[in-house]
Amino acid sequence: MNWEAVIGLEIHVQLATKSKIFSGASTEYGAEPNAQACAVDLGLPGVLPVLNEAAVAMAVKFGLAIGAQINLHSVFDRKNYFYPDLPKGYQISQFETPIVGAGEVNLLLEGGQQRRIGVTRAHLEEDAGKSVHDLFPGQTGIDLNRTGTPLLEVVSEPDMRSAAEAVAYFKKIHALARYLKICDGNLAEGSMRCDANVSIRPVGQDSFGERTEIKNINSFRFVERAINHEIQRQIDVLEHGGKIERETRLYDPDKDETRSMRGKELSADYRYFPDPDLLPLVFTEAFVEDIRAQLPELPEARQQRYCEALALSSYDAAWLSNDPDVANFFDATVAVCSNAKQSANWIMGELAAVLNKADLDITASPVSPQQLGQLITRLDDGTLSSKTAKTLFDALRTDDAEVDVLIETLNLKQMSDSGELESIVDQVMADNPAQLEQLRGGKDKLLGFFVGQVMKLTQGKANPQQVNEIIRSKL
């Protein structure tokens, strides 16, 4: 039987506000456990939540960026459940009327295929605390610093059909959140987590199969692996006559498997009701329009600009526009050298390799966009050869000097004095009489040998094009 996967993601985006969603406590990452939980976060009696306006503005910004319906009237509800890291006994969330309604996201898949993924809704909620199981033998520690951190939960339609599509969608939401500056995007610190809902059905069947939900995956690689595993597990179960149970599963990256955590709660289990401590959230059209006016250029628009105005391939354009910091670096480089294709090549090649190796963010690049732009300018005007440009690039990694100064001090200027080059060509010909004979006899392949010898003697500073011409004229 041929099976098709059906996948829907719920992505929790941690909003980059300074304080919590309903209290003034700091959201800064990495503080001493329980140093940043105030009376409101702790759920002490007699305190009242006060909504953080910045979180509201960020949710609206996201909604506008995916062309979603913005609900001017929405409601905060209590989602009731017991857990040690949830001191109030309920989480404040939005249930029937979320702040952001239906929208959509476009994906460009590898191979150039386009996919449109529906977003059902996005709602505001508070995060719970953290249970720490591996610090105290036989005990669990509770850290409530994260309690009350604002989250935007983005729920997709069950529109994805493979793990690769799910990863592309997750990456797209990640890129959007970074562009909009509503989230720092740090997956390792848990700033974006995703729950993957997975089911399978025979190819050609219209109705969906029963699904499972894999909780709390926090890396692109794990999303792909967890979903592929779950698809295979479900195929095995069904092909052996079994039944898929609606349940919540956990992905274990060490064992590379998913395992059952608990039966799936249905929404009725949570006894949702409007939080009597909070008024409905109401804002004006003008508030929304104000935010719309501040929207930055988004990844798709940037990618299109790179293709159309700068004539980059769609692969290069997608690569560069995905991360706003990379795109800004690229723009700054092109502003200096006006050569988009070369800038793309250097950033995606040499620079990416250096950053990867040193595990550096592009914002911490040892070579600045100004330096790279000047290097490309000197390559374009013939001062540098491709070989000496690489030498210069390596030097720039540890040297902050001006590009032109470094070219002088390292003696990297390409030789263009044709008299000097001619005498070097004469010397190489005199030193290699046998090869010269063959070349004269028509063995054109040996041209490369002679050019190579000249390049070697000039330490890569000769212009290979010019050397070629001189050799030909001498023949």
Nearer to ligand ADP, 83 or 208 (CB): 208
Three-state SS at 142:
strand
Give the interface segment with ligand ADP, choosing from 5-13, 90-98, 319-327, 363-371 (CB under 6 A). Answer: 5-13
Binding status of residue 7 toward ligand ADP by CB under 6 A: yes
Classify residue 202 by burial, with Cβ atoms within 10 Å: 0-12, 13-18, 19+. exposed
Bridge partners for 263 per DSSP: 247
Least Å from the CB of residue 163 to ligand ADP: 13
Do 15 and 122 contact (CB within 8 A), yes or no? no
Nearer to ligand ADP, 104 or 422 (CB): 104
Parallel, antiparallel, or unpaired: how do β-strands 212-217 and 247-252 relate?
parallel
Q: What is the rounded CA–CA span in Å between residue 327 and residue 261? A: 41
Give the interface segment with ligand ADP, choosing from 100-108, 137-145, 150-158, 225-233 (CB under 6 A). Answer: 150-158
Binding status of residue 374 toward ligand ADP by CB under 6 A: no
Binding status of residue 104 toward ligand ADP by CB under 6 A: no
# binding residues, ligand ADP (CB under 6 A): 15
Least Å from the CB of residue 213 to ligand ADP: 7
Q: What is the rounded CA–CA span in Å between residue 179 and residue 159? A: 24
Closest residue to ligand ADP, judged by C-beta, is 8
Task: Enumerate residues 263-282 that contact ligand ADP by CB under 6 A.
Answer: 267
Nearer to ligand ADP, 10 or 331 (CB): 10
Least Å from the CB of residue 8 to ligand ADP: 2
Binding status of residue 208 toward ligand ADP by CB under 6 A: yes
Least Å from the CB of residue 114 to ligand ADP: 20
Sequence-separated (6 or more) residues with CB below 8 Å from residue 405: none
Classify residue 85 by burial, with Cβ atoms within 10 Å: 0-12, 13-18, 19+. middle
Least Å from the CB of residue 7 to ligand ADP: 6
Q: Which of 156, 218, 339, 342 binds ligand ADP (CB under 6 A)?
A: 156
Q: What is the rounded CA–CA span in Å between residue 286 and residue 343? A: 41
Q: Name which of 184, 201, 70, 178 is nearest 123 in CA terms.
A: 70
Task: Enumerate residues 182-201 that contact ligand ADP by CB under 6 A.
Answer: 197-199
Sign of dihedral through CA atoms 299, 302, 304, 310? negative
Least Å from the CB of residue 121 to ligand ADP: 8
Q: What is the rounded CA–CA span in Å between residue 113 and residue 126? A: 37
Nearer to ligand ADP, 37 or 152 (CB): 152
Q: Which of 158, 190, 274, 366 binds ligand ADP (CB under 6 A)?
A: 158
Binding status of residue 155 toward ligand ADP by CB under 6 A: yes
Sign of dihedral through CA atoms 375, 178, 167, 105? negative
Q: What is the rounded CA–CA span in Å between residue 41 and residue 25? A: 8
Site for ligand ADP, rule CB under 6 A: 6-10, 155-158, 197-199, 208, 211, 267
